[in-house]
Amino acid sequence: MKTPIAELTEKKAFICDMDGVIYRGNQLIPHVHEFVSWLNNSGKNYLFLTNGSSRSPRELSQKLARLGLEVDESHFYTSALATAAFLKSQCPGGSAYVIGEPGLVNALYDAGFTMNDANPDYVVFGMSTRIDYNMIEKAVRLIERGAKLIGANPDLTDPSEQGIVPACRAMLAPIELTTGKQAYFVGKPNPLMMRHAKQVLNCHRSETVIIGDRMDTDIIAGIESEIDTVLVLSGVSTRETVDSFPYRPKHILRDVGEIIGL
């Protein structure tokens, strides 16, 4: 009988979250370098599927390079790209008032959207450390005039070197509470993200595994897509927090190093 780890190493495709799986803040998580080397040397298909919207794939590739890890930008897909693709399909040539970083703004530009702070079709909210009261108030007024509210991802918290910090959904909540309008969130566990990942990897779901540190995004996304799931305890989750959910990952590991015996 094969061990659980042996089953994982035989998978052909790996979908990996980034924050809490690959790095925390500006520090690589232990054994990540060895894990990525194993993916490359073993000929595995892999995609870093991140709910982050701040950086473009090129910037993510450059960030990993600064941390000593070389990964081509073709291996990244972000919630910013998923959000831009979704809005392009819904409202080609539309406009948006964006609260977020350049990765989100540029993805929308590339999808044919224009920036509009007077009468946009959408208010699009991504994560930014420069959010202020005036931005929130502006978003509320635009939604009152008919703009639709879109969130790049539904994450409440992110891991950092100092501990957890507020993330997109937590920062967007004042807009929802003030307007009474619920945002539509595009990032994981939305099936839009998972469908793109499977298309890029071109592997059957039985040959694929998703690795993440969050039960409410990564793990539920895998379960609903019928993909084997690995929860790593290097990010926001602990063995105790797993018990608070009505579903469980197939595997719980310390970090990605356990997959390759480290």
- pLDDT tens, residue by residue, 33-58: 999 999 999 999 999 999 999 999 99
Q: Which residue has the higher pLDDT, 123 or 236?
A: 123
Domains and CATH numbers, the chain: 4-51+189-260 (3.40.50.1000), 80-185 (3.40.50.1000)
- Write down the pLDDT at residue 3: 64
As a whole number, mean pLDDT of residues 51-66 equals: 95
As a whole number, mean pLDDT of residues 183-208 equals: 91
pLDDT > 90? residue 160 = no
The pLDDT-based confidence of 2 (bands split at 50, 70, 90) is low
- Write down the pLDDT at residue 142: 98
pLDDT > 90? residue 197 = no
3-state secondary structure (DSSP) of residue 254 = coil
Which amino acid is it at 3?
T
Q: Are the beta carbons of 72 and 39 closer than 8 angstroms?
A: no
- Write down the pLDDT at residue 25: 83
- Write down the pLDDT at residue 65: 97
For the entire predicted model, the pTM comes to: 0.90
pLDDT > 50? residue 170 = yes
CA pair distance 83, 53, nearest whole angstrom: 9
pLDDT > 50? residue 1 = no
The percent of residues above 90 in pLDDT, for the chain, comes to: 83
Alpha carbon of 137 to those of 95, 174, 243: distances in Å?
A: 19, 9, 38
pLDDT > 90? residue 213 = yes
Q: Which residue has the higher pLDDT, 159 or 54?
A: 54
Which segment of 57-71, 103-117, 137-151, 197-211 scores lowest on mean pLDDT?
197-211
Q: Are the beta carbons of 48 and 256 closer than 8 angstroms?
A: no
Q: Which of 19, 155, 158, 218 is an active site residue?
A: 19
For β-strands 27-28 and 23-24, DSSP reports them as antiparallel
- Write down the pLDDT at residue 83: 96
213 assigned to active site: no
Across the chain, mean pLDDT equals 94
Closest CA to 101 of 133, 53, 162: 53
133: tokens are: 């009261």
163 DSSP β-pair partners: 160
Q: Which residue has the higher pLDDT, 150 or 166?
A: 150
As a whole number, mean pLDDT of residues 235-242 equals: 92
17 assigned to active site: yes
CA pair distance 229, 140, nearest whole angstrom: 38
- Write down the pLDDT at residue 158: 81
Q: Which of 17, 155, 213, 255 is an active site residue?
A: 17
